[in-house]
Copies of this chain bind each other. A is one copy, B any other.
Amino acid sequence: MSAGVGELAAWLEECAAEIEIWLSSWVAGLEERLQGRPPLAEAMAYAVLGGGKRLRPALVVASAVACNPEKAGDFGARTDLVRDAACAVELIHCYSLVHDDLPAMDDDDLRRNRPTCHRVYGDALAILAGDALLTDAFSILAGGVGSPEGRHGKIPSDAVARLRLVEMLSRAAGSAGMVGGQVVDVSRSAVGGGLDAVEGVHCLKTGQLLAFSCAAGAEAVGAGRELVSNLWSFGETVGLIFQIADDILDETADPAEMGKRTGKDRERGVATVTGAVGLQGARLRARELAGEAASLLGGLGESAALLRSLPAWLVARSE
């Protein structure tokens, strides 16, 4: 009932291409709406269309397929809610990268093999483009962006599901979620606290947005409360594995291959799993978490095959 790692990799690539189309179409609408403010539209497009694995939106799609394949729709014909949740979470992810790269934060010059947003557009515009992406993500969830009815447009029939998604995304991304984790990271206050402290930060910084992605896919196809909640926990666990893989790659990989500077976390004194339990300990922990993740999908059948192979794919990435 689990797809092969190669099969998942191929599916993720196909899914990323689908998501690229959605994001390009959103950016095209943006450029139309922002006539007269071209620098903002440009900086936002640069931040959104810079490639990347599109892991978070792919998780939205994979979870929707896992919970209700018919309602999730096929390639090229997803339901609005699946597409909107996927685009919204990717906008949040992109904004967080733009703000994280700022000189006042991580001060990075390179992201996905290109100069970072503030290196191209300046710090002020990068801050504002990030703010706009964050805000517009909620416009997308509200189902209102791009509608010809304008600001008092008609309310979609799936209003309750959309409001739940707003609640879930704001919680995952806000002070009690991603931003909260970023603060601990910036203040270095998890350093020296051992595995629990590091995983606490990772669960916020990376875990909450992946948790949202998995739960949002379920919510978007009308899954029940318990399944949504299990997929939230699955996403949190996947987030921990993802971050371990990232920590391992940051120690071992070639910068050219990563498209960004490596070894920087160690240099900066950021708390990492490899720092807390060593390279081998980190690999063991990732495999342990993969087992926990699998058990959270127990209630799902064949439709969850792709989702089920995700932990193994993440573990393989770093080995």
Binding site for B on A (CB under 8 A): 30, 33-34, 36-37, 39-41, 44, 95, 99, 102, 104-105, 122-125, 127-128, 130-132, 134-136, 138-139, 141-145, 151-153, 155, 159-160, 162-164, 166-176, 179-180, 182-184, 186-187, 200, 225, 228-229, 232
Could you tell me the distance in whole angstroms from the C-beta of A95 to the nearest C-beta in chain B?
Answer: 8
Identify 25 residue pairs between A and B in the complex whose beta-carbon atoms are under 8 Å apart, listed by A's number. Answer: A33-B175, A34-B180, A40-B180, A41-B175, A44-B175, A99-B131, A105-B124, A125-B186, A127-B127, A128-B182, A132-B175, A135-B175, A136-B170, A138-B138, A138-B166, A142-B166, A143-B167, A152-B228, A152-B229, A152-B232, A153-B167, A155-B163, A159-B159, A159-B163, A166-B166
B41, B132, B174: which contacts A135 (Cβ < 8 A)?
A: B174
B151, B166, B172: which contacts A141 (Cβ < 8 A)?
A: B166
Could you tell me the distance in whole angstroms from the C-beta of A275 to the nearest C-beta in chain B?
Answer: 20
In the bound complex, how far is the Cα of B138 from the Cα of A174, in angstroms?
9
Contacts of A232 in B (CB 8 A): 151-152
